[in-house]
């Protein structure tokens, strides 16, 4: 509840609206105040210099760990010890101009004129140079410091295709995308969100491809967010979603730069949040969650088969246990006789009704899964072996569950992992329980009715104005080549109907998530 947080501890740093104390001409005073306002934090580094002509005092400060130390040493401190300072900068004002115009040869520098901006700059990793006898200072962009380097994606693993993934640094992330789309039309807007955390959030789109209305909508929605912290893109996701009461995610997230690039090229919009490798992509449709970017790297026929498999897995993981329960409890006539006898003999000793058996195993499975995720990866495997093999085997031998049930539950469990998007897999998992209950209550009829309601619900969702089930409902015949199957790349020459920017001249240019660019 970020909003409530802001009420419980008002003020503090979120004081940009309050009157900001000026930078005093006395350097010591300013330093003292800044120290105080940061709560005498030990990570604030202040180094005081005397210039070579012994007349001016300069303080360089930065926060440890937020800055690139090398940059500070090499350029900032070094710049202040130039020989020329002696002749050219006798006074503090001169020194200021000299430093700003000549000496500092890195990145951006900015003039700061009050303490609040000093603090803000410090906290975002800038180095501040303050001058004695002068009521302003310079802030130099030196942000850097410790961060994870670009590594292989951990949540969206692939066999073929680029292996890099986003990191926690916004700059790196945007650069990773830019490297893939060397086009001036890749536009990025940055805004700061979160009144306490001051997180940088960037909206990226390709000018001319993305729909202008969608962009406007996103800008408006982001502007309407008033919270004090944005720690992950999940905050934004939950705050801008249109359907809060739906189990289905309506925003896509990824940690793969190639996926972001591909989606940008399809006319979608990406939201980068500093501090997280997960980038939001919107508008998202239901079928996006079942596609992976690798689908476009493999041959179309293979991809098509795999996609069909994924949708089968979706059905299995949603309806598997439910259909099993319905068949065993309500529609015994639908099971072939030898199989039914088989089931019947397995169930002879089992003391529970089928539903309880299913729920027992399903919940056990969820426990094993949840425990396995939080464990270190070596122990995680042990957990799944103990849980899956030993528990399952023992439960069957103890006559608590029937072997067929173990098969059904593990099959559904594995099927749910075949959904590439984890958040979608989670929602499906929850819905599976609901459907199983209904099936235990009224059998196949209940499954059919819940299915109807579910499809109706999916059809009622929208993501940034785009119907969630598009292009199947509303049906767009031209867009079917990239839904259940994938057509060969040379057939994919048109853009998605509902994502298309109708006004842009380049709107008809072929550009799928694939790599072809044709004019």
What does the block give as tokens for 306?
A: 């795999």
Contact between residue 450 and residue 365 where contact means Cβ atoms under 8 Å apart: no
Q: Strand, helix or coil at 377? A: helix
Residue 332 is a binding residue for another protein (CB under 8 A): yes
User: Of 459, 485, 487, 489, which lies in the binding site for another protein, with binding defined by CB under 8 A?
Assistant: 459
Stretch binding another protein (CB under 8 A), from 202-210, 244-252, 330-338, 375-383: 330-338
- Report the residue number, 87 or 333, with the smaller CB distance to another protein: 333
Contact between residue 145 and residue 67 where contact means Cβ atoms under 8 Å apart: yes
Residue 275, sorted as left (phi over 0), alpha (psi -120 to 50) or beta, turns out to be: left
- Report the residue number, 144 or 403, with the smaller CB distance to another protein: 403
Q: Strand, helix or coil at 136? A: coil
CB of 472 to another protein, least distance (A): 6
Task: Identify the CA nearest to 366 among candidates 397, 325, 410.
Answer: 410
- Report the residue number, 7 or 337, with the smaller CB distance to another protein: 337
Residue 455 is a binding residue for another protein (CB under 8 A): yes
Stretch binding another protein (CB under 8 A), from 44-52, 247-255, 465-473, 505-513: 465-473
Task: Identify the CA nearest to 283 among candidates 205, 223, 229.
Answer: 205
Footprint of another protein on 149-208 (CB under 8 A): none
Provide the terminal-to-terminal Cα distance of the chain, rounded to the nearest Å.
Answer: 48
CB of 464 to another protein, least distance (A): 15
Residue 498 is a binding residue for another protein (CB under 8 A): no
Stretch binding another protein (CB under 8 A), from 192-200, 248-256, 367-375, 449-457: 449-457
Instruction: Classify the C-alpha dihedral 254-256-261-263 as positive or negative.
Output: negative
Q: What element of type H or E holds 437?
A: helix 422-460
User: Of 46, 157, 231, 341, which lies in the binding site for another protein, with binding defined by CB under 8 A?
Assistant: 341
Contact between residue 108 and residue 140 where contact means Cβ atoms under 8 Å apart: yes
Footprint of another protein on 346-405 (CB under 8 A): 346-350, 353-354, 396, 399, 402-403
CB of 463 to another protein, least distance (A): 14
Stretch binding another protein (CB under 8 A), from 9-17, 224-232, 363-371, 441-449: 441-449
CB of 287 to another protein, least distance (A): 12
- In sequence order, what are the residues at sequence separation of 6 or more whose Cβ sits closer than 8 angstroms to the Cβ of residue 95? 51, 56, 58, 85, 89, 131
User: Of 83, 101, 333, 518, which lies in the binding site for another protein, with binding defined by CB under 8 A?
Assistant: 333
- Report the residue number, 147 or 399, with the smaller CB distance to another protein: 399
Residue 474 is a binding residue for another protein (CB under 8 A): yes
E strands, 54-151, where?
A: 57-63, 109-112, 126-131, 137-141
Stretch binding another protein (CB under 8 A), from 85-93, 265-273, 360-368, 437-445: 437-445
Residue 417, sorted as left (phi over 0), alpha (psi -120 to 50) or beta, turns out to be: alpha
Residue 330 is a binding residue for another protein (CB under 8 A): yes
Q: What element of type H or E holds 28?
A: helix 27-37
Give the residue carrying structure tokens 């789309």.
181
Residue 449 is a binding residue for another protein (CB under 8 A): yes
What does the block give as tokens for 329?
A: 């409890």
User: Of 145, 445, 487, 500, which lies in the binding site for another protein, with binding defined by CB under 8 A?
Assistant: 445
Summarize as ranges the residues that interact with another protein (CB under 8 A): 328-337, 340-350, 353-354, 396, 399, 402-403, 440-446, 448-449, 452-453, 455-457, 459-460, 467, 469, 472-475
């Amino acid at each position: 509840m970020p909003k409530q947080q802001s009420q419980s501890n008002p003020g503090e740093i979120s004081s940009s609206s309050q009157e900001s104390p000026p930078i005093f001409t006395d350097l010591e005073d300013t330093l003292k105040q800044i120290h105080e306002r940061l709560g005498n934090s030990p990570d604030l580094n202040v180094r005081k210099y005397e210039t070579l002509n012994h007349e001016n005092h300069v303080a360089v400060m930065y926060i440890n760990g937020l800055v690139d130390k090398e940059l500070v040493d090499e350029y900032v401190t070094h710049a202040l010890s130039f020989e020329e300072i002696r002749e050219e900068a006798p006074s503090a004002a001169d020194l200021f101009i000299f430093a700003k115009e000549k000496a500092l040869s890195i990145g951006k520098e900015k003039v700061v004129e009050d303490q609040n901006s000093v603090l803000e700059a410090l906290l975002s990793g800038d180095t501040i140079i303050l001058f004695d006898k002068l009521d302003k200072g310079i802030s130099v962009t030196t942000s850097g410091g410790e961060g994870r380097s670009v590594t292989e994606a951990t949540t969206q693993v692939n066999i073929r295709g680029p292996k890099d993934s986003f990191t926690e640094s916004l700059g790196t992330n945007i650069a990773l995308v830019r490297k893939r789309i060397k086009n001036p039309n890749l536009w990025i807007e940055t805004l700061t969100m979160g009144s306490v955390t001051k997180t940088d959030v960037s909206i990226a789109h390709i000018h001319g491809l993305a729909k202008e209305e969608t962009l406007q909508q996103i800008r408006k929605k982001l502007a309407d967010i008033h919270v004090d912290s944005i720690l992950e893109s999940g905050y934004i996701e939950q705050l801008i979603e249109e359907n809060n009461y739906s189990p289905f995610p309506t925003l896509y997230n990824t940690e793969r730069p190639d996926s972001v690039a591909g989606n940008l090229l399809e006319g979608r919009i990406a939201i980068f949040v500093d501090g997280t490798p997960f980038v939001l992509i919107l508008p998202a449709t239901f079928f996006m969650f079942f596609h992976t970017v690798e689908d476009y790297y493999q041959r179309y026929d293979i991809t098509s088969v795999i996609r069909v498999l994924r949708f089968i897995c979706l059905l299995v993981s949603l309806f598997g246990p439910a259909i099993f329960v319905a068949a065993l409890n309500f529609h015994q006539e639908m099971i072939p006789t030898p199989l039914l006898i088989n089931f019947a003999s397995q169930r002879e000793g089992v003391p529970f009704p089928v539903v309880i058996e299913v729920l027992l195993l399903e919940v056990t499975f969820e426990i094993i899964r949840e425990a396995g995720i939080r464990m270190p990866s070596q122990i995680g495997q042990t957990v799944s072996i103990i849980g899956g093999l030993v528990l399952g085997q023992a439960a069957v031998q103890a006559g608590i569950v029937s072997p067929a049930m173990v098969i059904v539950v593990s099959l559904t469990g594995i099927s749910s992992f075949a959904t590439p998007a984890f958040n979608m897999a989670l929602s499906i998992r929850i819905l599976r329980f609901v459907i199983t209950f209904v099936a235990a209550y009224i059998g196949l009829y209940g499954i059919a009715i819940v299915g109807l309601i579910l499809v109706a619900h999916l059809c009622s969702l929208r993501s940034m104005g785009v119907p969630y089930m598009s292009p199947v409902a509303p049906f767009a015949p031209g867009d079917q080549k990239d839904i259940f199957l994938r057509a060969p790349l040379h057939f994919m020459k048109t853009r998605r109907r509902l994502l298309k920017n109708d006004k842009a001249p380049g709107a008809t240019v072929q550009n799928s998530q694939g790599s072809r660019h044709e004019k």
